[in-house]
Amino acid sequence: MNSTNDIVMVMGYPAMGKSRLAKPYIEQGYFRLNRDILGCGLDDLIPMMSKEYNNGETRFILDNTYMTKESRTPVIEWAQKNGFSVKGIWLTSKTPKAIEVAQYNSCLRMIRRFGKLLSPDEIKAKKDPNTFPPAALFAYRKKLEKPKKKEGFDTLETVYFEREMDKEIYKNKAIILDYDGTLRKTKSGEKYPKTPDDIEILPGRRETLDSYLERGYLLLGVSNQSFVGKGVITHKEAESCFEKTNELLGLDIDYRFCPHYYFPINCYCRKPMPGLGVELVEEYKLNPDETIMVGDQTTDKTFARRCGFQFQHADKFFKM
């Protein structure tokens, strides 16, 4: 085998950061074969590689999802036939989980590319392989077969994702608040208020939040409002309830809410999806390590983990 004949396969979830791992190889002169950039399928990369090999290329970097053994086999078989070594790099994550990192990165990519978090209809309308609904990531997880060295890799390395953030830019801290069950309850006993006059502020909220304002924290809000998606209330009526909550608190909290129904999961803005958290991080240049999510549900805790925030249960936070 010619020692210069080398293939590197970077594998992992969509939006996991494979391009970042591929970059050093590209800078070293490796020929890149990425199906999204080339606008083709995985199977099309093999004849492309043959063509470039015949043109004198001897080092290739293939950064693609490669979710199954079947999808990886053609590359390995081609390498063995043509005397190439194959290095596999499996990009994953422990905490947050790999799929959660991919969810965050998908939202970040959207916001940086389009200036906002896209709605389900807007995602559907985009003809862009790098813009996809949450279902695409769930489908990947369902089909995933983690690569194993015995498939034919000469070496197989596992790399754990690390988020890179410039702390000179992302330096602000915030308290991100759930609303229902955290800041307010309803007089009627409904889960969400339908009208502003049904809102009652829970005790001790203003005093605790004032203490964080004095320490330089921003006050922000994130809420799920499935009543809007169900057609029980309108988007404008939900907004009026948030405005009334802020008025009763005497605080100007910049809130965001998901108006979509909880099933099926087709948006990135409904907690525990991280979309609204990513939006706040980018807009306010938040340092996730110094940002606290306060809520009363498991979805709030999961949302915090996916965004890299600290989490405090509302009962504990408002007793501090």
Same domain, 103 and 196: no
Edge-to-edge strands of the sheet including 174-177? 254-258, 218-224, 174-177, 292-295, 310-313
Which amino acid makes up residue 27? E
Using CA atoms, how far apart are residues 37 and 292, in angstroms rounded to an integer?
38
Same domain, 156 and 200: no
Mean pLDDT by 10 residues, the chain (320 residues): 82 97 98 96 97 98 98 98 98 96 98 96 92 96 98 98 96 99 97 96 98 98 95 97 99 98 90 98 98 99 98 94
Per the structure, how many domains does the chain have? 2
What's residue 297's pLDDT? 98
Dihedral-angle region of residue 140 (phi above 0 means left; psi in -120 to 50 means alpha; beta otherwise)? alpha
Q: Indicate whether 298 belongs to any domain.
A: yes
Dihedral-angle region of residue 54 (phi above 0 means left; psi in -120 to 50 means alpha; beta otherwise)? alpha
Q: Indicate whether 80 belongs to any domain.
A: yes
Identify whether the C-beta of residue 114 lies closer than 8 Å to the C-beta of residue 24. no
Same domain, 129 and 199: no
Same domain, 146 and 216: no
Same domain, 111 and 247: no
149-200: pLDDT as tens digits: 999 999 999 999 999 999 999 999 999 999 999 999 999 999 899 999 999 9
Q: CATH number for the domain including 50?
A: 3.40.50.300
Tell me the residue range of the domain where 35 lies: 6-160
Same domain, 202 and 92: no
Using CA atoms, how far apart are residues 108 and 282, in angstroms rounded to an integer?
8
Same domain, 205 and 270: yes
Strands (E) located in the chain: 6-11, 31-32, 59-63, 85-92, 155-160, 174-177, 184-186, 199-201, 218-224, 254-258, 292-295, 310-313
Token pair in block for residue 310: 């600290």
What's residue 154's pLDDT? 98
pTM for the whole thing?
A: 0.94
Select from 171, 193, 162 the least CA-distant residue to 257. 193
What's residue 145's pLDDT? 98
Same domain, 64 and 136: yes
Using CA atoms, how far apart are residues 78 and 42, in angstroms rounded to an integer?
13
